[in-house]
Structure 1
């Protein structure tokens, strides 16, 4: 099915889009040329007309036979030059010297009429030289989850890769069980990741390391070209974007699940959706990945892991920061405190906004943390609790019974609400204005795992209507949407039995 989108200027048929592949120009040290392996008897499941318009692609292209043939790798458009990227990475804290795109192939990139650069990557397109004896395929289950979540994150205002479309087939793919094969056409300005730099650092291939840094700066951070130390400026920019991204994840209750350095974007995007999870019940130690036995990537550890990953990137960039090794190390480590400051500033500002506070107060972080502690102690839902808090009545005689009755420890809530009321009054807060502001930052709808699971089960039976319904709901996460109120309800008890692993 094709989702609707408002028309934009200069929409092109697929055949007239100007494809190139600047990453392929870097040379064979950075990638391997590889042709996609077509899925048998594919069919288009969903097409993102909104993103198509941004790319300058006429959404009508999705209905033409040539589109599916191109998506499936049966024919190539001029200039596309498919390649699989080489990279390494630290996985669960341990360095793996060679990884790379094991089931993804960059088909090419589009430069839009507005000067935007979009790299299109087919995920599930068959084996590559980096598949490590894998089949290079993706299954319907994981493809649908990434498709839904990347669009949900985009609607929430979180930097992310996106997906233009997904296709399915009856081709059998084995994971924990036999599943149906699928394709995802992922789009991002770049899929370069921290591990892309690590591979050349640990191989002592410093000319290639410099070449990659120059490429990223030229194509994605051109404003840094005139800096006194462009590579240091690049690192500073990545530190800032990563700190801001992690703050956004924490504010919406999103756990990535596999924050390996090969899953960290050099552009500060949410990259590689696997066993992710939005928290239902607020639990600081929430681990969404069943494979993460030690809880390395637990929700409350994500900000520290972000810094740890940045230290790995900093290590890889040392030869480019300064000829003197000690001076280079000082330049890199000086950014660690800057990461903490940027993360803290954005996280605290976000918490104030979630509480509806318009000004900065000395004890605002403490007030927010006390509310989070209430949610944790009482097992309250993270998303719904902040959304409901917008209805708090700051009047003298208000008892806020509806809010109060949600908590087991009502005395603790009463004590907190008294402090909250005092704080609102200190800035002369208007309840109606505050409610509107809170509802613009506290979503009503998120992609809960049970919602994704229901869509998966229907899709595996050949019914994609729930997928399309969820897409429409998640693209308006802050709107009330009373006709879809059931999607904003407390999750059912059976949802607790859902487990996700690195193969999800």
Structure 2
């Protein structure tokens, strides 16, 4: 959406926004109802001269927002932190966590405010100013990182990968100091819950068992009701919760590894209790296939390298289990709840990769076929998204020349293709190609595409943000005329540095 001219921000504290567009949110009991041990009341800090940067119609539908909501000055003010939605009582939540494998102690929402729960979705402002948990931070987000989070949240949803969602970005000329001076922005994001592993770690580490139990009971009642009836003992529901979170996390990691997504900062406070992709910071979709790729410039030792993500998730799940142990009160029972992680991960990953390969059903040689392929991709650093898209088209056309052209080792890839085509028999080629094109995206949010959109947006030109948003909303479609957005990354893309800074 193009930049709008609007009045300057209201004075602090924010007033209540009377929504002229006709939307009055009906707030539901949510996380804040747990009480003062879990949240702190906080008012957003207004930003001068806010303007719309981008909005998501699909995310708006989840909240019941009416048509034209993104032209409403009152909502612009509310989603910039300059006014409160009627009835909203914003809070910041407290949690702790392990960062880069080291216990960091108390953390919390340092720049996020939970406005409340609407239509089963928690509504949150990210970048609306300092909170009691900001530590040395300013509580702000910048336009650069806000665009990346907005686009990737909605792109991951379109790819079928569990994720938080993004409703809108609002920008402001207010200056924010990072590695360089940037301008402020606020992302309004939503999810059924923003509870993290770190919320449980916070109370577990402090020995606050009553609060730990209240948190677990809240999560079970609202998000895992099937766990409430598990077993006959009081501890059984908490073991069932750990098992359910383990299974969701395994499926999430299978999606990441199959699509080639690097999260970049898998601290326990960045792990969702619902198995959602959360906290889009130094993320990246793979260009060249490199199993050891490190996308986070701050990750000096490669803890969160692409091929380490499944193991890190397992490590994080064990920290969650440790936090829940006072409720489970049985180490073997906790271990049993965790024990299915590897099998569920492998099962989900193989199913996703089988679909990418176009195999209609399990094949006796699929594991060997896949491992040989990944080794070939890694050896020649083949572009990951382009390979899969070309393979999909080749199956339909019978012309595998464009696929072979991606590899330096011609005989090796020819041998693999011969085995692959044998595995596809006797499937119908056209139908197989059609299925493959529905699970091998043509468009992903590569770093250079996001960077180009950000550079234009810094000059108040949001057209490339809109273009990417449209392409990523339907990533499996061809979108004629946008071949450049699906092509090889330029040479300068390899030098982009993405860090934890935002």
TM-score relative to the length of structure 1: 0.93
Whether 1:235 aligns to 2:242 is: yes
**Native 8 Å contact 2:121 2:190 kept in 1:** yes
Q: Deviation digits for residues 114-173 of structure 1, max 9, x if unmatched?
A: xxx000110000000100121100000000000000011000000100111110000000
**Native 8 Å contact 2:387 2:406 kept in 1:** no
| Secondary structure, counterpart of 1:390 in structure 2 | helix
**In structure 2, what is the equivalent of residue 457 of structure 1?**
455
Question: How far apart in 2 are the matches of 1:2 and 1:353?
Answer: 39
Whether 1:271 aligns to 2:271 is: no
**Native 8 Å contact 1:145 1:452 kept in 2:** yes
**Native 8 Å contact 2:23 2:66 kept in 1:** no
- Which of these residues, 77, 80, 83, is aligned with residue 72 of structure 1? 80
**Native 8 Å contact 1:53 1:59 kept in 2:** no
User: Shift of residue 380 of structure 1?
Assistant: 0.8
- Segments of 5+ residues of structure 1 without an aligned counterpart are 4-11, 112-116, 323-327
| Secondary structure, counterpart of 2:289 in structure 1 | coil
Question: How far apart in 2 are the matches of 1:406 and 1:22?
Answer: 51
User: Shift of residue 399 of structure 1?
Assistant: 6.8
**In structure 1, what is the equivalent of residue 8 of structure 2?**
none
Question: How far apart in 2 are the matches of 1:15 and 1:374?
Answer: 54
**Native 8 Å contact 2:396 2:433 kept in 1:** no
User: Shift of residue 448 of structure 1?
Assistant: 0.2
**In structure 1, what is the equivalent of residue 336 of structure 2?**
334
**In structure 2, what is the equivalent of residue 36 of structure 1?**
44
**In structure 2, what is the equivalent of residue 416 of structure 1?**
416
**Native 8 Å contact 2:96 2:202 kept in 1:** yes
Matched residues, number: 483
- Which of these residues, 163, 166, 175, is aligned with residue 166 of structure 2? 163
**In structure 1, what is the equivalent of residue 265 of structure 2?**
258
Whether 1:490 aligns to 2:488 is: yes
- Segments of 5+ residues of structure 2 without an aligned counterpart are 4-19
**In structure 1, what is the equivalent of residue 443 of structure 2?**
445
| Secondary structure, counterpart of 1:89 in structure 2 | strand
Q: Deviation digits for residues 442-484 of structure 1, max 9, x if unmatched?
A: 1110000000000000000110010011000000111111121
Whether 1:144 aligns to 2:152 is: no
- Which of these residues, 122, 125, 140, is aligned with residue 125 of structure 2? 122
- Which of these residues, 363, 384, 387, is aligned with residue 386 of structure 2? 384
Question: How far apart in 2 are the matches of 1:126 and 1:67?
Answer: 18
Whether 1:46 aligns to 2:54 is: yes
User: Shift of residue 338 of structure 1?
Assistant: 0.2
Question: How far apart in 1 are the matches of 2:409 and 2:156?
Answer: 33
Question: How far apart in 2 are the matches of 1:311 and 1:437?
Answer: 37
| Secondary structure, counterpart of 2:485 in structure 1 | helix
Question: How far apart in 2 are the matches of 1:269 and 1:2?
Answer: 30
Question: How far apart in 2 are the matches of 1:479 and 1:61?
Answer: 28
TM-score relative to the length of structure 2: 0.93
**In structure 1, what is the equivalent of residue 97 of structure 2?**
89
**In structure 1, what is the equivalent of residue 326 of structure 2?**
319
**In structure 2, what is the equivalent of residue 220 of structure 1?**
223
Question: How far apart in 2 are the matches of 1:48 and 1:399?
Answer: 39
**Native 8 Å contact 1:14 1:67 kept in 2:** no
Question: How far apart in 2 are the matches of 1:378 and 1:73?
Answer: 49
- Which of these residues, 49, 53, 68, is aligned with residue 60 of structure 1? 68
User: Shift of residue 181 of structure 1?
Assistant: 0.4
Whether 1:208 aligns to 2:211 is: yes
**Native 8 Å contact 2:395 2:432 kept in 1:** no
What's the Cα RMSD here? 1.7
**In structure 1, what is the equivalent of residue 467 of structure 2?**
469
Q: Deviation digits for residues 394-418 of structure 1, max 9, x if unmatched?
A: 99xx673232222211000111111
Question: How far apart in 2 are the matches of 1:207 and 1:306?
Answer: 27
Whether 1:436 aligns to 2:438 is: no
1:14–1:226 distance in 2 versus 1, CA, 3 Å? farther
